[in-house]
Amino acid sequence: MNGTVVVLLGPPGSGKGTQAQRLVEVLGTPHVSSGDLFRHHLSEDTDLGQLAKSYMEKGELVPDDVTVKMVMERISRPDCEEGVILDGFPRTLTQAEALKGALSGRGQEVTVVPLIRVGDEEVVRRLTARRVCKECGAVYNLAFNPPEEEGECDVCGGDLYQREDDNPETVQHRLYTYYKETSPLIGYYFAQDRLVEVDGEQPVEQVSEELLEAIHEAKRAS
């Protein structure tokens, strides 16, 4: 098998984006976030952005066909040949099957699926205090990981903003969507012997360490 394909699974706010950005530094493979791709389309006001907007505002999933098409186009680029860290995709069984098909077409498979476990109350606490850099996408938290200067990114000095869907009502609905549509993937990847559970309520560094351990272990076994 060539390439390491990591699928980060977990509820909204479990730290997928935070951890993916850290894993990039160590693994050297790109971080592909379906949420970031959609937000890019939104900011560019493309047809796909206009389609995705109403779903994202409500905290519902964008339909599988357009989501799969968008992510497949991204991971078929040369920089993903040696592997990829997927964050927020797949989110349905249909998406998981599409990913499997696309990878097998190029002699790859999903290497490991860390499930980052975080309780519902912690999710709400984290997401309502989340701030994101407009320029580079760095993720902050007003309570746990505030920027040095208020409203300003430590990395690039860009402005920080709050995502429109990080309000308490939409967060509740995103959690509901996660349990209904995404949690079946836990059984799906468990049955394929790819699932590794990680306690996501530990400090960021500790979670990273356990993720790296799980990834290295899975690479050895593959």
The contact set with ligand ADP (CB under 6 A) reads 10, 12-18, 34-35, 38, 55-56, 59-62, 67, 88-89, 91, 95, 126, 130, 139-141, 144-145, 165, 174, 203-204, 207
The two structure tokens encoding residue 61: 């999933």
Query: Catalytic: 130?
Result: yes
Which of ligand ADP, Zn ion, none lies near 139, with the C-beta cut-off 5 to 8 A by kind?
ligand ADP
Q: Minimum distance from CB of 123 to ligand ADP (Å)?
A: 8
Query: Catalytic: 131?
Result: no
Which of ligand ADP, Zn ion, none lies near 111, with the C-beta cut-off 5 to 8 A by kind?
none
Q: Minimum distance from CB of 205 to ligand ADP (Å)?
A: 8
- C-alpha to C-alpha distance for 61 and 56, rounded to whole angstroms: 7
Q: Is 49 or 158 the residue whose CB approaches Zn ion more closely?
A: 158
Q: Interface residues with Zn ion (CB under 5 A)?
A: 133, 135-136, 138, 153, 155-156, 158
Q: Minimum distance from CB of 220 to ligand ADP (Å)?
A: 26
Token pair 């309520």: residue: 201
Query: Catalytic: 174?
Result: yes
Query: Catalytic: 91?
Result: yes
Active-site residues: which are they? 16, 91, 130, 163, 174
